[in-house]
Structure 1
Amino acid sequence: MKPYNGAKRPEPTPVAPESADAANGALPDPDGLLAAALALAAEGVKVFPAHRVVDDGFGPTCTCMDLKCKSPGKHPRNDHGSKEATTDPGLIRQWWQKWGVHGRLNFGQTLTGRAVVDIDVAEGKTGDATWEGLCVELAPSDWAPGTLTYRTGRGGTQYVYTLPEGESGGKADGYSNKLGTHVDFKTGPNAYVMVPGSKTDDVYTVIVDAETAPLPEWIAEKARKKARQGSEGGSVVHAGSGSQLSDLLSLPADDPYRSSNDWVAAVAGHYAGDAWKFAPPRGWTWYSDMVRAANATSAEPHPEDRLAKTLWSVWEAEAAKHEQAEAAAVVQLLQPGGAFFHNVPEVPPAVWGHGEEILWAEGEALLIGAPQGVGKTTLAHQIIRARIGLQPTVLGLPVAPGKRVLLLAMDRPAQTRRAGARIFAGDDPHRLSERLVVWEGPPPADLARHPETLMRMCEQAGADTVVVDSLKDAAIGLSDDEVGAGWNRARQFTLREGVQVLELHHTVKRGANGAEPNTLADIYGSTWITSGAGSVISLWGEAGDPIVSLRHLKQPFAEVGPFRLLHDHTTGTTTVHHTADLVALAGASRGGISALEAAKAIFETEKPSAAQKEKARRRLAKLVEAGQLEAKAGPAGAGTVYRAPSGALF
Structure 2
Amino acid sequence: MGDGEGPCGGARYRVRYGWQRGTRRPGSQLSDLLFLPADDPGRGNDWLTAVAGHYAADAWKFEKPRGWSWYSDMVRAANAGSADPIGEADLNKTMRSIWDTEGRHHEQAEPGSDEFEKLVAVQQQRMRVNAEAARRERAEARPERPKMLIGAEFLSMDFGGVLWRVDGLLAEGGNVLLAAQAKAGKTTLRNNLIKSLVDGDPFLGQFKVSPGGVLAVFDLEMPDTMAQDWLRRLKIQHPERFMYVPMLGRGASLDPTDPESVAEWAADLKAAGVTTMLIDCLSPLLAAFGLDEDKPSQVRPLLEGFNTLKRQAEVRETALIHHMGHNGTRARGASSLLDWPDAIWDLTKDEQDRRYLSARGRGVDLSKTALEFDPETLALTLADAPEAEKPELKKALGRFPDLVRQHFARYPAPLSKNKIAEAVGGNKKAVLASVDYLVANDELAYGPKGYGPPTGVLPGL
TM-score computed with the length of structure 2 as normaliser: 0.50
Q: Which has the higher contact order (CA 8 A, sep 6+)?
A: 2
More helix by share: 2
